[in-house]
């Protein structure tokens, strides 16, 4: 199935399903050597585990904890099995080195702003870990660049609030355990972990191929850290050109934010992941004065002749000051 996805032999809507992405990447842990799988889990979930066995259970069904309700949000339960059973299905439960980590993975679907889903899953993991003498963990895996805040509330506060607001309220020790047990990571970080492991010559060839294939799946979805090499090459060409200072001092607009100039925003761009750029647009313009009223068109043509393809997914659209931004 990995090869079918890599070579686009499955329907596009199938490739984009969260469950398929989870199976192709998180499910991979079951096929890796124990020490390697433990190292991946330790880094992704930010827990202290060593060379131990890893058990991964995908989509286990659990009874919804007392006091919780099934979410009314369609995206929450669309991939949690038969909602008529009243069960809750985390994307995975990982047992590793004295830890029980419940994983909730999101790709296209949003996090529940009421934290009902994450609250249920935390309660399930906490109770299961306590029964088995393990440390509880909840790992929220999303495509966000910064930790998400559904409804304007942090993940920790949101889960604690969901537990406190259950009918009868959750035990005090469960609520108090949230800050030390909840972790967030993004798919881009997961890609970086797998990529580093795949480049390690100490692993067997078949193991490295598994890691490389999982990386290819994430690459197909654009879930990779931002590589500034392309934009750096283009910038060097622009710097050596005759582009006027007015253009270089023009604003850089991305994610509804405006940086005072391209050069001022350069350092910030280097620290971003590709998905955070979104529809990034660098919009250089020239002040249209009587003396250079026809100059902008000439400079726009010069800019368009550069290797704009090296900007990868960045959209570049110049406009004249006072005109309408695209």
Residue 184, beta-bridge partner list:
140
pLDDT of 165 > 60? The answer is: yes
pLDDT confidence of residue 308? 40
Q: How far is CA 16 from CA 12, 57, 75, 177, in A?
A: 6, 21, 14, 34
Q: In the prediction, which pLDDT does 134 show? A: 96
Condensed to tens digits (0 to 9), the pLDDT of residues 199-209 reads: 999 999 999 99
Q: Which residues pair with 105 in a beta bridge?
A: 141
**Residue 120 to residues 116, 141, 236, 286: CA-CA distances in angstroms?**
6, 16, 52, 56
Q: Which helix (H) or strand (E) holds 128?
A: helix 116-131
The pLDDT value recorded for residue 162 is 95
Q: What does the pLDDT look like over 280-299, one tens digit per residue?
A: 444 444 333 344 444 444 44
């Amino acid at each position: 199935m990995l090869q079918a996805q890599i070579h686009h032999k499955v329907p596009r809507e199938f490739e984009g399903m969260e469950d398929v992405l989870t199976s192709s990447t998180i499910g991979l842990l079951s096929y890796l050597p124990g020490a390697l799988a433990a190292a991946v889990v330790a880094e992704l979930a930010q827990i202290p585990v060593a060379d131990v066995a890893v058990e991964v259970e995908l989509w286990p069904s659990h009874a919804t904890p007392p006091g919780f309700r099934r979410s009314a949000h369609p995206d929450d339960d669309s991939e949690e099995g038969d909602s008529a059973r009243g069960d809750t299905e985390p994307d995975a439960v990982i047992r590793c080195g004295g830890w029980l980590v419940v994983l909730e993975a999101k790709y296209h679907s949003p996090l529940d702003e009421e934290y009902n889903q994450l609250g249920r899953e935390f309660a399930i993991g906490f109770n299961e870990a306590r029964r088995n003498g393990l440390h509880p963990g909840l790992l929220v895996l999303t495509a966000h660049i910064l930790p998400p805040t559904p409804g304007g509330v942090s993940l920790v506060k949101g889960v604690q609030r969901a537990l406190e607001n259950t009918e009868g309220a959750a035990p005090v020790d469960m609520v108090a355990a949230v800050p030390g047990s909840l972790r967030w990571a993004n798919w881009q970080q997961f890609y970086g972990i797998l990529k580093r492991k795949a480049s390690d010559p100490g692993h067997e060839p078949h193991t490295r191929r598994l890691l490389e294939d999982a990386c290819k799946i994430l690459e197909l979805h654009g879930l990779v850290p931002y590589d500034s090499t392309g934009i750096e090459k283009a910038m060097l060409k622009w710097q050596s050109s005759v582009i006027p200072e007015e253009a270089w001092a023009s604003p850089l607009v991305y994610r509804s934010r405006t940086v005072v100039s391209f050069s001022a925003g350069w350092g910030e761009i280097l620290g971003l992941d590709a998905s955070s750029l979104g529809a990034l647009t660098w919009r250089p313009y020239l002040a249209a004065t009587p003396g250079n009223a026809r100059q902008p068109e000439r400079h726009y043509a010069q800019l368009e002749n550069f290797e704009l393809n090296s900007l990868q997914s960045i959209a570049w659209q110049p406009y004249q000051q006072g005109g309408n931004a695209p």
